[in-house]
Amino acid sequence: MRIDIITLFPGMFAGVFRESILARAVAQGQVKIVLHNLREHGLGRHRMVDDYPYGGGPGMVLKPEPLFSAAEAALKEMSEELGAEARIPVILLTPQGRPFSHRVAQELSHLPGFLLLCGHYEGVDERVRQHLATDELSIGDYVLTGGEPAAMVVVDAVVRLLPEVVGAAAGEDSFVAGILEHPQYTRPTIFQGWEVPSELLSGNHEEVAKWRRLQSLRRTWERRPDLLSLAQLTSNERRLIERWQAEAKRARQPGTGGSGSPQFPPGQELGQPSQEQ
Ligand code: ADE
């Protein structure tokens, strides 16, 4: 796979792509990552890449010419390497984009390559969205100073799905089966008095698998109930969740002393250890 990135700040990527699993994937030739400095396509003696917004307002807007020129150069190189018939998506990173998810990462991981455009300042000229980008992705409902951290997130999530990058581990990820991953433990079996659940020490694969599935379900129900409607669950599992729901409802009723549904969002504040049960 080849991933090209157009950015005003190529230096930001150096550490990320030179460390850990991404560096190994690059070294093994699983992925080639090519950075293009937008400044090199800037206009005039000052290599201008941004300008004031028409109609007024704060901040600067990325001009269309440098982005189109950088993208054309990148796409030419990419199709020479990947073949003229390869469909190469041009993806603008922006908080207004389609939400990035495990499913989108999977879609991208099957492509021979794609081009990422990192926006900056107040945004990019609308003609870039309309006539250059084929897709727009957002990594969450918050605004970053630029698309670079978002590009790193997309590259990381996609590359780890390539064959042999993290191997079988990717199959157990949160979201793969539409629900969150089960808790993980390693040695020692007792740390500061806190024990590893006995089911995991049993050596009985069936018991381990059953415990993990139950924990995944419970965790998803507590933290991300929104995922459950689309998850692949057995009818027994659906009934179990209905029981948890009924119990939580009962606990919420006045006089029962319950604190209500144990859902993770939006109740828990940062810095508080979660209430494991
Ligand atoms: N650029 C700025 N904020 C962003 C976000 N949330 N996702 C993707 N790109 C962005």
123 within 8 A of 61, measured Cβ to Cβ = yes
Task: Note the pLDDT of residue 269.
Answer: 61
Mutation probe of ligand 1 site: the residue of 143, 148, 155 with most atoms within 8 A of C-beta: 143
Distance in angstroms (rounded) separating the CA atoms of residues 160 and 140: 20
32 within 8 A of 3, measured Cβ to Cβ = yes
Atom 9 of ligand 1: nearest residue by CA position: 94
Task: Note the pLDDT of residue 257.
Answer: 62
- Does 7 sit in the ligand 1 pocket, CB within 6 Å? no
Token pair belonging to 70:
């950088």
- Does 147 sit in the ligand 1 pocket, CB within 6 Å? yes
Task: Give tens-digit pLDDT for 222-273.
Answer: 999 999 999 999 999 999 999 999 999 999 988 766 555 555 554 456 766 6
Mean pLDDT, all residues of the chain: 92
Q: Which amino acid is at 67?
A: L
Q: Which residues pair with 5 in a beta bridge?
A: 35, 116
What is the average pLDDT across 63-83?
98
- Does 142 sit in the ligand 1 pocket, CB within 6 Å? yes
Predicted confidence (pLDDT) at residue 194 exceeds the cutoff of 70: yes
What is the average pLDDT across 111-122?
93
What is the average pLDDT across 95-109?
97
Atom 6 of ligand 1: nearest residue by CA position: 95
Q: How open is the CA angle 18-21-26, to the nearest 5 degrees?
A: 60
Nearest ligand 1 atom to the CA of 140 is 6
182 within 8 A of 210, measured Cβ to Cβ = no
**What residues act catalytically?**
95, 122, 160, 173
Question: What are the chain's domains?
Answer: 2-169 (3.40.1280.10), 174-266 (1.10.1270.20)
Task: Note the pLDDT of residue 277.
Answer: 44
Atom 10 of ligand 1: nearest residue by CA position: 94
Task: Note the pLDDT of residue 261.
Answer: 52
Classify residue 192 by burial, with Cβ atoms within 10 Å: 0-12, 13-18, 19+: exposed
Local confidence band at 188 (pLDDT 50, 70, 90 cut-offs): very high
51 within 8 A of 60, measured Cβ to Cβ = yes
- Does 140 sit in the ligand 1 pocket, CB within 6 Å? yes
Rg (CA), the chain: 23
Q: How far is the CA of 116 from the centre of ligand 1 (A)?
A: 12
